[in-house]
Amino acid sequence: MQKLQSSFVALISVFFFWGFVAASNGILIPLFKEKFVLSQFQSQLVDLAFYAAYAVGSLIYFFISRLKGDPINKIGYKKALTLGLLISSLGSLFFIPAASLFSYPLLLCALFIIGLGFALQQIVANPFVINFGAKETGAQRLNLAGGINSFGTTIGPVILSYALFGNINAPSAADSSLDAVKAPALILFGLFVLCATILWFSKLPSITNTEKLDKDLGALKYPQLTLGMIAIFVYVGVEVTIQSNMGALLAMPEIKGLDHQHISHFISLYWGSLMIGRWTGSLAVFNFNKFTKIIMQVIMPLIAFGVIYCINYFRGSEVSDYLYYIPYVLLATAIFIFSGENAARTLMILSLTGCLMMIVGLLTTGNLALYSFLSGGLFCSVMWPCIFALSINGLGKYTNQGSSLLVMMILGGAIIPPLQGLLVDAINPHRSYIITVFCFAYLAWYAYKVKSIFKKQGIEIEQSTSASH
């Protein structure tokens, strides 16, 4: 039993890595921008390299599956997951020569290789977690893994910032060195290898998919999927771009006037906002009565906010103005309670509120603008399961094909941030956030449109919003 528990810990740790690395990109972007003297667009190639790897990896898997059959099913889920971890470990190790050679393209290659490993891990880890024990408790395990992912996004920026810059009150940005990325990269390499080793020697459940793959792309005939693919693209893009361009925004005097050494607690708060929503959303898997569930939905966001506050307080960050964020947390809490578990309604309300907050951020300055933009994390937090559930609803035998196509649309995280980077260079960081308004507006339209699509097809809307991305 103890060996099985350690295997499960190693398994869900990959979710932590996804969050840790993805959120840490927000610290690397301003560092690379300064050291390599880049434009904002050029610095956003960090996100392009990392998230494009998801799309490339998924496409490689997709075409091999069409031509040769499911490769993961042939080699086994454990070997595939181990391979994914080793690929990512290679990418993390690649940071060392890249930093020594002072090469921005090589650093991007390192992130791309890590992302390729993550793509394979994404395909494998979710069904692996579900099948690790009893099927009826699979959703709880997946939500636990999602919570671990969000915890990684929360502490990733804090830990990396400390590793790169030392104390948050370091004298100046010039004191930081590109060589500082070597130590965290080496540690990450060791953790990847350790996790892969534990999984390799662990007794894990055997998973076999006997369903015959279709050779055509029949899933694309369903409008809920095709529009949902765009929705996933836009959702991942807006989720990433808000924080990826946050360093440039925080540097503006009318916002905060901070250099890149002093932004980690705001990046942490943004990704922590997703943790707040996902921890609250995971309550749906527990069999609470109506009154208890409402009480827990009120308490859980405050507990999660407290975790974010404490992590950054003990890190030494100045978190006194975090208190300005509490009204946003309470607003999101009210929305979670009101929207219930209807995926379309939840997506509609969250998207409209996110759109409104982005407009408030554009029209104001200082803390009101900053925290309005940061609140995008709260409203993005449970969009992934809403969009995913709506997109594959009614696909029947094309469900797996549709799922793989949706995973490819993580590409949005590679495209939208650089587009905003171009706006930063063309106008200014503050006004560039106009792109987020259009993103949230499309997501609200999709939530509205999908209801009429389902009405024509005579199917019911999925009621589940409990899964986590």
pLDDT, position 170? 41
What six digits make up the tokens of 162?
């400390």
**CB neighbour list of residue 370: distance below 8 Å, 6 or more residues apart:** 249, 250, 255, 256, 266, 361
pLDDT, position 127? 65
| Helix, strand counts (H, E) of the chain | 20, 0
Mean pLDDT, 10 residues at a time, over the chain (469 residues)?
A: 60 80 81 89 90 87 76 79 92 94 94 91 73 57 70 78 60 61 88 85 66 66 92 95 92 88 85 88 76 90 93 83 93 88 88 97 95 95 84 77 81 92 93 97 96 82 48
pLDDT, position 171? 36
pLDDT, position 214? 57
Q: Return d(Cα 77, Cα 15) in angstroms, integer.
A: 16
What's the pLDDT tens digit per position in 376-390? Answer: 999 998 888 788 878
DSSP string, 272-338: HHHHHHHHHHGGGGS---HHHHHHHHHHHHHHHHHHHHHHHHHHT---GGGGGGHHHHHHHHHHHHH
Q: Return d(Cα 50, Cα 114) in angstroms, integer.
A: 7
Domains and CATH numbers, the chain: 2-202+212-457 (1.20.1250.20)
Q: Return d(Cα 143, Cα 149) in angstroms, integer.
A: 10
pTM of the model: 0.81
**CB neighbour list of residue 281: distance below 8 Å, 6 or more residues apart:** 143, 336, 381, 382, 385, 465, 466, 468
pLDDT, position 95? 93
Measuring CA to CA, which residue among 391, 361, 362 is closest to residue 375? 361
pLDDT, position 467? 41
pLDDT, position 381? 87
**CB neighbour list of residue 419: distance below 8 Å, 6 or more residues apart:** 241, 435
Q: Return d(Cα 35, Cα 58) in angstroms, integer.
A: 32
pLDDT, position 1? 45
Measuring CA to CA, which residue among 313, 413, 302, 439 is closest to residue 18? 413
Q: Return d(Cα 373, Cα 215) in angstroms, integer.
A: 43
Inter-residue contact 452 to 266 (CB < 8 Å)? no
pLDDT, position 173? 43
pLDDT, position 74? 77
Question: How many CA atoms lie less than 13 Å away from 338 in the CB half-sphere?
Answer: 11
Q: Return d(Cα 157, Cα 159) in angstroms, integer.
A: 6
